[in-house]
Structure 1
Amino acid sequence: MLEYSLYQSGIHCADIIFKDDCIEHIKKDVFSNKWLEKTILKSKDITKYEEIYKINLKDLNSKLDEFNKIFNIEKFQVETPWGALYQKSEINNNIWCERNKKFPLDIVLVENEVVGFIVTTREVCNVLVKKGYEDYTPLKLWKEKEVSNPQYAVEFKGTFMVPMRDGVKLATDVWLPRNINKKIPTIFVRTPYGKKLFSQAHFKYVQRGYAVVIQDTRGREDSEGKWIPMHFEIEDGDDSINWIVSNDWSDKKVGMIGASYGGYVQWASAASGNKHLKALVSIVTAGGPFIDMPRKGGTLASGMLAWAFAMAEKRFKPENMIRDDWDEILKIRPLKDITKKALNTDVSFWNYWLKHDEYDEFWSKSNWFKHKNKIKVPAMVVSGWFDDNGMGTTEALDIVKEYEKGNKKVFLGPWMHSANTTRDIHGVGFGNNAVRYDLDYYYLAWFDKHLKNIDNGIEKEKEVEYYTLGDNRWREAENWLPKEVKLKNLYLSSSGNANKSDIDGKLIFEKVQAENHDTYVYDPENPAPHLIDLSENEVGVPDNYINVEKRSDVLVYSTDKLKEDITIAGDIHVEFFASSSARDTDWIVRLTDVDEDGNSIKLVDGVLRAKFRNSFDKIELLKPNRIEKYIIRTSKIGNTFRKGHKIRLTITSSADNFIFPNSNTGNDSSTDTEVVKATQKIYHGGKYTSLIKLPVL
Structure 2
Amino acid sequence: MAEGWTAPEGRPARGARWMRATWRKVPKGPYRVGCEAGLVVPGADGAPLLTDHYFPRTAGESRAGAARPDGTRAPGEFPTLLVRSPYGRGAPWAPLYGILFAEHGFHVVVQSCRGTGGSGGAFHLWRNETADGRATVAWLRQQPWFDGTLGTIGASYLGYTQWALAADPPPELRAMVTQVGFNDPHAYFHAGGAVHLENALVSGIGMAHQHQGWRPFLRAALRLRRWLRGAHREPAPHTSGPAAELPWLAEALERPERTDPYWRDASPAVAAELPTVPTCLIAGWQDVFLDQNLAQYRRLRRAGCETTLLVGPWTHNAALQEGWPEVFATSLAWLRAHLCGDRAGLPPTRVRVHVGGDGPGDGGGWRDLAQWPPAAGAADRWYLGPGGRLGPRAPAAAAAPADTAPVGEFRHDPADPTPSLGGPVLSPGAGRRDNRSLEARADVLTFTGPVLAEPLEVLGPVAARLRVTADGADGAPAGRPFDVFARLCDVDARGRSVNVCDGLVRVIPRAGAADSTGTPTAVVAVVPMTAAAHRFAAGHRVRLQISGGAFPRYAPPTGHAGAGPVRVELHPGSALELPATAEPPTAGR
Same fold (TM over 0.5): yes
Q: Who is 1:604 aligned against?
A: 501
Q: CA deviation at 1:192?
A: 0.7
- Aligned-residue sequence identity (percent) comes to 22
Deviations 1:389-421 (Å, cap 9, x if unpaired)?
A: 22232223223334659x323221111112347
Q: CA deviation at 1:381?
A: 1.7
Q: Which amino acid is 2:338 matched to? A: H
Matches within 5 A, 1:385-464: 385-402=285-302, 407-420=306-319, 437-458=325-346, 461-464=348-351
Corresponding position: 1:325 with 2:215: no
Change (3 A) 1:252 1:436: closer
Which of 543, 565, 568 matches 1:648? 543
Q: Who is 2:416 aligned against?
A: 526
SS in 2 for 1:126: coil
Deviations 1:544-569 (Å, cap 9, x if unpaired)?
A: 22232233322322211112111111
Q: Who is 1:591 aligned against?
A: 488
Q: CA deviation at 1:659?
A: 0.8
Structure 2 CA distance for aligned equivalents of residues 298 and 328 of structure 1: 22
Higher share of residues assigned strand: 1
Q: Who is 2:82 aligned against?
A: 188
Q: CA deviation at 1:357?
A: 2.5
Q: Who is 1:465 aligned against?
A: 352
Q: Which amino acid is 2:341 matched to? A: N
Structure 2 CA distance for aligned equivalents of residues 512 and 219 of structure 1: 62
Structure 2 CA distance for aligned equivalents of residues 366 and 696 of structure 1: 37
Say whether the 8 Å CA contact 2:457–2:536 is kept in structure 1. yes
Q: Who is 1:171 aligned against?
A: 50
Q: Who is 2:579 aligned against?
A: 694
Q: Which amino acid is 1:257 matched to? A: I
Corresponding position: 1:53 with 2:21: yes
Q: 350-359 or 254-263: which moved more?
A: 350-359
Say whether the 8 Å CA contact 1:271–1:375 is kept in structure 2. no
TM-score, scaled relative to structure 1: 0.68
Corresponding position: 1:364 with 2:264: yes
Say whether the 8 Å CA contact 2:235–2:558 is kept in structure 1. no
TM-score, scaled relative to structure 2: 0.80
Q: Who is 1:205 aligned against?
A: 101
Q: 676-685 or 237-246: which moved more?
A: 237-246
Corresponding position: 1:228 with 2:112: no
Structure 2 CA distance for aligned equivalents of residues 157 and 50 of structure 1: 18
Q: CA deviation at 1:477?
A: 0.5
Say whether the 8 Å CA contact 2:90–2:211 is kept in structure 1. no
Q: 524-533 or 209-218: which moved more?
A: 524-533
Say whether the 8 Å CA contact 2:180–2:319 is kept in structure 1. no
Matches within 5 A, 1:534-573: 537-538=427-428, 540-573=430-463
Corresponding position: 1:263 with 2:263: no
SS in 2 for 1:264: helix
Say whether the 8 Å CA contact 1:290–1:297 is kept in structure 2. no
Say whether the 8 Å CA contact 2:468–2:571 is kept in structure 1. yes
Say whether the 8 Å CA contact 2:33–2:99 is kept in structure 1. no
Q: CA deviation at 1:329?
A: 4.3
Structure 1 CA distance for aligned equivalents of residues 42 and 79 of structure 2: 19
Q: CA deviation at 1:371?
A: 4.8
Say whether the 8 Å CA contact 2:178–2:282 is kept in structure 1. yes
Q: CA deviation at 1:336?
A: 4.9
Q: Which stretches in structure 2 are left out of the alignment for 5+ residues?
A: 1-7, 57-63, 68-72, 399-403, 471-477, 515-519, 583-589
Say whether the 8 Å CA contact 1:610–1:622 is kept in structure 2. no
Change (3 A) 1:330 1:51: farther
Structure 1 CA distance for aligned equivalents of residues 112 and 209 of structure 2: 14
Corresponding position: 1:126 with 2:24: yes
Q: CA deviation at 1:510?
A: 4.1
Change (3 A) 1:242 1:682: farther
Structure 2 CA distance for aligned equivalents of residues 386 and 551 of structure 1: 24
Say whether the 8 Å CA contact 1:586–1:609 is kept in structure 2. yes
Change (3 A) 1:286 1:679: same
Which of 681, 687, 695 matches 2:569? 681
Corresponding position: 1:493 with 2:401: no
SS in 2 for 1:241: helix
Structure 1 CA distance for aligned equivalents of residues 523 and 36 of structure 2: 60
Which of 35, 41, 63 matches 1:161? 41
Which of 183, 195, 206 matches 1:300? 195
Aligned residues: 529
SS in 2 for 1:401: helix
Q: CA deviation at 1:634?
A: 1.9
Q: Which amino acid is 2:539 matched to? A: G
SS in 2 for 1:454: coil
Structure 2 CA distance for aligned equivalents of residues 161 and 32 of structure 1: 20
Deviations 1:617-667 (Å, cap 9, x if unpaired)?
A: xxx8896834322223222221111112111112221101211122565xx
Change (3 A) 1:516 1:53: farther
Structure 2 CA distance for aligned equivalents of residues 397 and 622 of structure 1: 42
SS in 2 for 1:547: helix
Q: Which amino acid is 1:596 matched to? A: A
Structure 2 CA distance for aligned equivalents of residues 312 and 622 of structure 1: 46
Corresponding position: 1:638 with 2:533: yes
SS in 2 for 1:199: helix
Q: Who is 1:5 aligned against?
A: none
Say whether the 8 Å CA contact 1:378–1:408 is kept in structure 2. yes
Say whether the 8 Å CA contact 2:38–2:50 is kept in structure 1. no
Matches within 5 A, 1:245-256: 245-256=141-152
Structure 2 CA distance for aligned equivalents of residues 452 and 541 of structure 1: 36
Change (3 A) 1:387 1:639: same
Deviations 1:582-606 (Å, cap 9, x if unpaired)?
A: 3211121111111112211111011
Structure 2 CA distance for aligned equivalents of residues 362 and 289 of structure 1: 11
Change (3 A) 1:233 1:622: farther
Structure 2 CA distance for aligned equivalents of residues 388 and 419 of structure 1: 12
Structure 1 CA distance for aligned equivalents of residues 84 and 231 of structure 2: 31
Structure 2 CA distance for aligned equivalents of residues 262 and 270 of structure 1: 13
Structure 2 CA distance for aligned equivalents of residues 454 and 200 of structure 1: 24
Change (3 A) 1:191 1:329: farther
Structure 1 CA distance for aligned equivalents of residues 312 and 153 of structure 2: 19
Say what the alpha-carbon RMSD is for the aligned residues.
3.5
Deviations 1:8-63 (Å, cap 9, x if unpaired)?
A: xxxxxxxxxxxxxxxxxxxxx99589xxxxxxxxxx98x88654433xxxxxxxxx
Q: Which amino acid is 2:52 matched to? A: D
Q: Which amino acid is 2:505 matched to? A: L
Q: CA deviation at 1:303?
A: 1.6
Matches within 5 A, 1:34-113: 51-54=19-22
Q: 602-611 or 273-282: which moved more?
A: 273-282
Say whether the 8 Å CA contact 1:272–1:374 is kept in structure 2. no
SS in 1 for 2:166: helix
Q: Which amino acid is 2:205 matched to? A: F
Q: Which amino acid is 1:693 matched to? A: L
Structure 2 CA distance for aligned equivalents of residues 334 and 392 of structure 1: 30
Say whether the 8 Å CA contact 2:434–2:499 is kept in structure 1. yes
